[in-house]
Structures are given as C-alpha cells and as structure tokens.
Chains A and B, each alone.
Chain A
Amino acid sequence: MSAISRDEVAHLARLARIEMNDAELDHLSAEMQVILNAVDRVQEAAKADVPPTSHPLPLQNVFRPDVIRPSLTPSEALSGAPAQEEQRFKVPQILGEE
C-alpha cells in the first residue's frame, strides 16, 4: 500500500499550478490516501505480458493535408481574453520574484 505524504501533495499542487492553503492540503492528503488505497489494486492485475491500451479505437496518425483553412478570426480568438492589447492576449509578467 503506497503512502502519500502531505509534502508530496503540496508538491503536486505546485506542479498543477493550484494555490492551496494549509487546511485544504491537510484535508486533501487524507482524501488522497483513501483514494489511492482504493485504486492501488490495479497493480495486481497488471501483468508484464499485458500490453497497455491508451485508446479504444485502432486509429493511428489521422492527419489532414497541410493546407491553410479558415479558422477563428483574431477578434473571435480574443473574445474570451481577460485582457488584450494590440490584438494580443495581455498576460501578467512571466518572470516574477522568486
């Protein structure tokens, strides 16, 4: 049975870009443990000689010709933007204080 620590959950929250407070991390760690205990058993079934399936359909490399086709106009593409300027998405500074 794998154990997941609160520090690991905090690390995962950072990876997932979600700002969680201490109370939430405590609560979530406990829940994670319960869920992991329940899903752990997949390892019993997964024998070495069983190939993994990522997808139910036997499709591969479904491409279309590399030809430009009409898509969204710039104003349609920007229509949901929280902020925009000069036909671009305006975003907060990428490099912040550490």
Chain B
Amino acid sequence: MSFIFKSASEQAQALHKGEISSLELVNQHYARIEEVDADVHAFLHLDKEGALAQAAAVDAKRKAGEKLSPLAGVPLALKDVMAQKGVPTTCGSKMLEGWRPPYDSTVVTNLKKNDIVILGKTNMDEFAMGSSTENSAYGPTHNPWDLSRIPGGSGGGSSAALAAFEAPLAIGTDTGGSIRQPAAVTGTVGVKPTYGGVSRFGLIAFSSSLDQAGPCARTVLDAALLHEAIAGHDERDSTSINQPVPQVVAAAKKLDVKGLKIGVVKELQGEGYQAGVLQRFNESVEELVKAGAEVVEVSCPNFTYALPAYYLIAPSECSSNLARFDSMRYGLRVGDDGSRSAEEVMNLTRQAGFGREVKRRIILGTYALSSGYYDAYYGSAQKVRTLIMRDYAAAFGKADVLVSPTAPTTAFKIGDKVDDPVAMYLNDIATIPVNLAGIGGMSLPAGLAPEDNLPVGFQIMAPAMKDDLMYQVGATLEAALIDKWGGNLMSLAPKLGAR
C-alpha cells in the first residue's frame, strides 16, 4: 500500500504502529521521485545511500523499543542551501558544483537527531536570489499543478517536492518570501519562523539579517512538528534566540480562534493583486470570522517602501556575503594556468561561477554600500526598516495576528518574467515586510483562483516570538477550508506520473 499521499503525521503514525517500515517508506518516495522528477525537477541530488542507511537505523531503533521523536523515520527534502556533510551542496550555483561540505548545518544536525530521513537536496534560485527557481544554474523546477509554470522561488524545489508527493516534509529558507511564496503557488504550507528561531549555522548566507530556515509541508500540523524539530538556540549562531521554542505543535492542535483579532493589512491588497487571489483571501477571512475571530482593518503606510528597502538591504548584505567565493579555499576556480595573478583568477572565477541575477545583486549592493552613496541608499533603507517595525508594532497593538494574500498572483509561466527584474521582484511585495521586521510569517492554501484554477496562498503574520499564534490561526483556517471543500486541496492537483 502506498503511503506517499499521506501527511507526515499520518506516515509517522503508520511507522509507529508498524504498518510500514521507514526503509519501505523511503523506497516508496524514491520510486515516486523516479516516476515524476524528470518532469518536475525538484531534486538536484539524491542521497540514496545515506537515506537508506538512516532509515534502516531508525527501523532498528524502533524494533529495539527505543523512544523515538514524533517524526522519526519520515522522509524529507532539503533545500540545497543547507550544508549537509559529505553531500553535494550547490546553492543552485555553478560556483559550488560538486562541493561537499565538511560539516553539517545545525538544521541538519537537528533533523538527524530527530531521525528524520533526508532524501536529497532540492533545487533553488541561485544563492536564494529569486522568486521562480528560474535562476538555478541547473535548470528550473516545474510546478506540479501545471508543469509549464514556476513553482515559486527561491525554494521552488522544496515546494514542488511536496506538491508532487515526492516528500511529505521539506526545509526551505526565507529571506524575502522564499518559503512562503513557493508554498502559495503550489498549494502547500510554508513557515518563516521569527528571525533567530532557527539556527543559521550552515545556512549558506545570502542576507544575514534576513535569512531564516523554516518548515515546509502539506499541512499546518506537519509544519509545526518539523518546526519544533529544527528550532532552538544554537551557540554557533550568535543571532539565534536564547529562549525556549514556541509551543507550535500544541497551538496547531488548538482549532480555536474565538476572541482573536485578525488584522487585515490595507496596503497588502488592492491594485496589483489578481482578482481571484483577493477573492480567496477574503473568503478565508470570512471563514475565520465564522470560527469566532474578529476582523479589524489596519494600516501600515510604510509598507509601500518595503520592497525598495529590501532590494537595497539584501543586495548589500549579499555583496558582502558572496565575497567569500573567491576561488581560493573552496568552490570553482577558473583560469589558473600559472600565468595569472590571484586577482585575475578571482575575477574570471566569479564571472564564470555566478549567474545573471546574482551578479546584478552583487553590483547593486556594492553600489549601495560605496562611499558617497551609502547614506542615500543603504542608510535610507535601514531607516525604512525602523519604520516598518514601528508599523507592525502599532498594528499588533490592534490585532493578534495580521493577514494578507501571500503573493499578488498565482503561478506565472516559466519565462514570463525572467527579462524584467523589477516585475519579478514584485512577487515578494507581501512577504518582504515580514523579513524586514524579523517577525514570523506563514502561508497556507486558501483555494484555487477561479480564473486559472491555480493555488492561492493566505499569509498569517505574528509578532516576534509568537509563532504559536500563526499555527493556531492557520490550523483553524485549514480545518474550516477542508470542511468547506470536502477534502484537502492537494487532492485536486493534476495526477503526475503513472498514477
């Protein structure tokens, strides 16, 4: 019997009851990958040897009667930006083609501690820069809902793997929306925890004050279980929060929003948002009202500056972070024929190793940080960041959580926006304020847009360190919608492969 269409919690229960072994479960997923990934291209690398060994080890532990963590033995897809010892880690770039990290990221250490089985590394926009996974140096990933469309980005591989039932769990990273927007366009769940909630040790840095790894799954409860597995203080990440992990699993089981105030952000809707997206968003808000929540409208006037501020801060930080790719200690080296200087080899290597979007952002960041322009650009963007945080603080004075559509449109066709950087950047318009403020954000499925039958995402934003509120509201909405639809949204997805 196939377990691949079940949720992670259901798979975990089946493992616990002995209905299936982890080895069989992992093999079922590899068979699925074999069946559909030629079309979806979610994965860049499969670590069969490692995964099967891990699965066998978990099965042995279970047989010996050891107490295991809730997700022990369940398979997972890992975004290729996370270092996994001995396993090729490319960040979707030629710069790191073939590079095998000599260490595990803390996220991977935590996954292994929880006996979660890592199937392989998923495709992404190069160095996490993009909203469509078209910037991968290894070819795009295709949206399982419509293979001619983008799966979102930068974490399109992870979201597509979930939507194609190649894995029940995935890890993503989110700097401007790279977990949430892919979740929205693939009908899956994605969470960016409060900044500092999950360790960045081994998360190959794009923009250090914004990057955050987070759980991706097909249900809110699954995401909560994964959240608790990976989150926590880490001595090796000086930006990690030294406080207990919010009780998100308990919150995800609390199907109740009575008395909660839901703040609809005026600036994150209206012009630029697809009609069907807004319709599903408003219907979802209605469901929360029916469930007992109170809706208030809030205004965050400085959000209009969030996108430009992000596209100054992130490139600036990235120009600094990507300076390490200099051909000296790891990664690509080009042109070292004995006649060239180190600087020349560096220049040639970085030209050959980085794609267009990465180079664009490095140059933009170098400009924004250069003397004469620093105050006007990076300095101003930092001030906007303060204003955004103030807007959130004021809004959270009026509401417990804030909501918006996750992305302005449903999945567009591959190729539609590659030649228009600014149009591409607009995909992040609703997700970016969350990263700038460092608070938590979740996207969960709100239905299909009537005009194109493609998934729409509903975004929930919670105050810093109150991630549990996102899960409480998200789980309640999810249950209400499943009830309304008579089943899970994913059951409406086109059937891939032979099934």
Contacts and interface: CB of A to CB of B under 8 A. Distances in A.
Say whether A and B bind each other. Answer: yes
Interface of A: 2, 4, 8-9, 12-13, 15-20, 28, 31-32, 34-36, 38-47, 50-57, 59, 62-64, 72, 76-77, 79-83, 89, 91-97
Contacts of A45: 302, 305, 380, 383-384, 387
A80 B102 contact: yes
Contacts of B360: 28, 31-32, 35
A80 B330 contact: yes
Contacts of A42: 305, 308-309, 312, 377, 380-381, 383-384
Given A56-B196, A59-B238, A62-B238, 15 more contacts: A17-B323, A17-B326, A18-B351, A19-B344, A31-B360, A32-B363, A43-B376, A47-B383, A51-B383, A56-B437, A80-B99, A80-B330, A82-B330, A82-B333, A93-B341
B351 A91 contact: no
Nearest to A81: B329
6 contacts: A16-B323, A20-B351, A39-B309, A45-B305, A59-B238, A96-B341
Contact of A38 (B308, B330, B331): B308
B64 interface: no
Most buried by A among B311, B343, B389, B438: B343
A48 to B, nearest CB: 9
B127 interface: no
B386 A79 contact: no
A8 B373 CA distance: 12
B342 A80 contact: no
Nearest to A76: B102
B351 A76 contact: no
B9 interface: no
Given A28-B359, A34-B422, A62-B238, A52 B351 contact: no
Given A42-B308, A42-B381, A82-B336, A16 B100 contact: no
B181 interface: no
B347 A17 contact: yes
A51 B343 contact: no
Interface stretch (B38-46, B51-59, B364-372): B364-372
Given A16-B366, A80-B99, A50 B387 contact: yes
A72 to B, nearest CB: 6
A38 B422 contact: yes
A50 B239 contact: no
Contact of B346 (A17, A28, A83, A95): A17
B382 A52 contact: yes
Contacts of B376: 2, 43
B327 interface: yes
B94 interface: no
Nearest to A41: B308
A83 B370 CA distance: 33
Per DSSP, chain A at the interface is loop
A9 B363 CA distance: 7
A34 B387 CA distance: 25
Contacts of A92: 336, 338, 340-342, 344-345
Contacts of A50: 383, 386-387
B165 interface: no
Contacts of A8: 367
Contacts of B331: 80, 82
Most buried by B among A8, A20, A79, A82: A82
B382 A19 contact: no
B328 interface: yes
Contact of B367 (A12, A55, A77): A12
A17 B343 contact: yes
Contacts of B305: 41-42, 44-45
Given A17-B343, A20-B351, A56 B362 contact: no
Contacts of A12: 363, 366-367, 370
A26 to B, nearest CB: 13
B347 A19 contact: yes
Interface in B230-249: 235, 238-239, 241
A55 to B, nearest CB: 5
A79 B376 CA distance: 42
B281 interface: no
A59 B239 CA distance: 7
B471 interface: no
A34 to B, nearest CB: 6
B348 interface: yes
A8 to B, nearest CB: 8
Q: Which 5 A-B pairs have the closest CB atoms?
A: A56-B438, A96-B341, A80-B330, A52-B382, A46-B380
B323 to A, nearest CB: 8
Contacts of B362: 16, 18
B437 to A, nearest CB: 6
A19 B362 CA distance: 13
B311 A38 contact: yes
B261 interface: no
A27 B62 CA distance: 59
A74 B204 CA distance: 21
B14 interface: no
